[in-house]
C-alpha cells in the first residue's frame, strides 16, 4: 500500500489504536497516541523494511522499548501490510498474536519482544554490533518513553553505544512528560534529557515529535552522523489528538468506553 498522505495515515492509525483498546477493554492509549508520528515516519519513510520479507537479514530493525505502546506498533504494521488489519480488534484476547506487550514469535514484523522497561536500548546496541560485525548497512531504531529512562539499564546502554561508536543506532525518546502515576517532573525528574545524553557522548537532536517533516529531517541527520549514536528527543503530547486524554496520566493505561470512543473518534476522523 502506498500512502502519499502521511497525515491522513496518522488519523487512521489513531483511530485503529482507540478502536483496538476499546475492543480489548484494556491497553495503553496515552503513550500509543504520542508515538503515532514517530512510528509513521519510521515505517513509511525512513526504515528499509519489506512486509513481504519480514525476516530479511539486511532489514533495518525497530525495538519498541516502551512495549506498552504495542497498539500503535500493531496498527502501523497492519497498515504497512505485515498482516490483515481485521485482526487488530483481537488485541489482548486469548490466543491472539497481538499480545498485550509485543511477542516477536507470535506476529510477523516484530524485531523483538518487549514490555519490561529499560531493556530496548541494550538490545538495539547488540543488533548494531552484529550489523557492524557482518558489514551490513542495517540500522537499528529504538523507541523509549521518557519515564522509561528512569531505568538504570538505559544509561548502561547509553554508555555502551557511545563507547563503541555505534552510529548505526538511533534512539528516540517519546518525551511526553507523563508516566503512569503522574508527570515525570512530579514522579522522578528526567530533564534535561538532551544534556544527559550529550554528556554520555551522544549526538542529540531535539524535535517536535508530532511534526512529520521535522521527524524525517531528524532521522536524516541521525543517519548522516558518524562515529557516535544519535538520540532524537521528540517533544510529544501524551494522548495526542484526543483533547480529554491529552497530558492526562489517567489515560496512560485505560480503555475508552463506548461514549468516550465516539467522542475521541469525532475529534480525530
Partner 1 sequence: MKDVKYIPQRDGYGLGLLELCKTREDILVLDADVAASTRTNWIRDQYPDHFYNLGISEQDMVGTAAGLALGGMIPYVSTYGVFLSGRAFDQMRTTVCYNNLKVRFGGAHAGISVGPDGATHQALEDIALARVLPKMMVIAPCDSEETRKAVIAAADIDGPVYFRFGREAVPVVTDENTPFTIGKARLVQEGSHCAVFACGAMVYEAMCAAEELAKEGVSLRVFDLHTIKPIDEEAILTAAKECGCIVTAEEHQTAGGLYSAVAEVIVKGQPVPMESVSVRDTFGQSGPPEALMNAYDLNAAGIIAAVRKVLERKA
| Contact flags string 43-82 toward partner 1, x per CB under 8 A | --------------x---x---------------------
Q: By CB under 8 A, is residue 199 in contact with partner 1?
A: no
164 or 216: CB nearest partner 1? 164
| Terminal Cα distance for the chain, rounded | 20
Q: How far is the CB of 67 from partner 1 (least distance, A)?
A: 9
Angle between helix axes 6-24 and 212-224 (nearest 10 degrees) is 100
Cα R_g (the chain), whole angstroms:
17
Contacting residues for 9 by C-beta, under 8 A, at least 6 apart: 3, 40, 44, 79
Whichever of 110 and 178 has its CB closer to partner 1, that residue is 110
Cα gap 267→265, rounded to integer Å: 5
Instruction: Give dist(CA 228, CA 235) in Å, integer.
Output: 22
Tell whether residue 168 is a contact of partner 1 (CB under 8 A). Answer: no
Q: Which stretch binds partner 1 (CB under 8 A): 13-21, 104-112, 211-219, 261-269?
A: 104-112
Question: Nine-digit cell at 266?
Answer: 469525532
Three-state DSSP state, 141:
strand
3-state SS assignment for residue 178:
strand
Q: Taking contact as CB under 8 A, which single stretch among the options 14-22, 31-39, 123-131, 205-213 is the one that binds partner 1? A: 123-131
Report which DSSP code applies to 68. Answer: G
Among 160, 175, 179, 230, binds partner 1 (CB under 8 A): 160
**Could you tell me which stretch among 107-115, 192-200, 218-226, 239-247 binds partner 1 (CB under 8 A)?**
107-115
What residue ranges bind partner 1 (CB under 8 A)? 57, 61, 103-105, 111-113, 115-116, 119, 121-131, 133-134, 140, 152-153, 156-157, 159-160, 163-164
Amino acid at each position: 500500500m502506498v500512502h502519499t498522505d502521511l497525515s491522513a495515515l496518522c488519523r487512521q492509525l489513531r483511530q485503529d489504536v482507540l478502536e483496538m483498546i476499546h475492543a480489548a477493554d484494556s491497553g495503553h492509549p496515552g503513550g500509543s497516541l504520542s508515538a503515532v508520528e514517530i512510528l509513521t515516519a519510521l515505517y513509511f519513510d525512513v526504515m528499509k523494511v519489506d512486509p513481504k520479507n519480514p525476516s530479511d537479514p539486511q532489514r533495518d530493525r525497530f525495538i519498541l522499548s516502551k512495549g506498552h505502546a504495542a497498539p500503535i506498533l500493531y496498527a502501523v504494521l497492519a497498515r504497512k501490510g505485515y498482516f490483515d488489519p481485521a485482526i487488530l480488534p483481537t488485541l489482548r484476547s486469548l490466543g491472539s498474536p497481538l499480545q498485550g506487550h509485543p511477542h516477536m514469535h507470535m506476529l510477523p514484523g516484530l524485531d523483538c519482544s518487549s514490555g519490561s522497561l529499560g531493556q530496548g536500548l541494550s538490545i538495539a546496541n547488540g543488533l548494531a554490533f552484529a550489523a557492524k560485525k557482518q558489514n551490513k548497512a542495517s540500522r537499528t531504531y529504538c523507541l523509549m518513553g521518557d519515564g522509561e529512562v528512569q531505568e538504570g539499564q538505559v544509561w548502561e546502554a547509553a554508555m555502551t553505544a557511545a563507547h563503541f561508536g555505534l552510529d548505526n543506532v538511533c534512539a528516540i525518546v517519546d518525551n511526553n512528560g507523563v508516566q503512569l502515576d503522574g508527570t515525570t517532573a512530579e514522579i522522578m525528574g528526567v530533564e534535561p534529557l538532551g544534556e544527559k545524553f550529550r554528556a554520555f557522548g551522544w549526538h542529540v537532536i531535539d524535535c517536535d515529535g508530532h511534526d512529520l517533516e521535522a521527524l524525517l529531517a531528524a532521522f536524516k541527520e541521525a543517519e548522516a552522523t558518524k562515529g557516535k549514536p544519535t538520540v532524537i528527543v521528540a517533544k510529544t503530547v501524551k494522548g495526542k489528538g484526543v483533547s480529554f486524554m491529552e497530558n492526562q496520566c489517567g489515560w496512560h493505561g485505560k480503555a475508552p468506553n463506548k461514549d468516550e470512543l465516539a467522542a475521541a473518534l469525532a475529534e480525530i476522523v
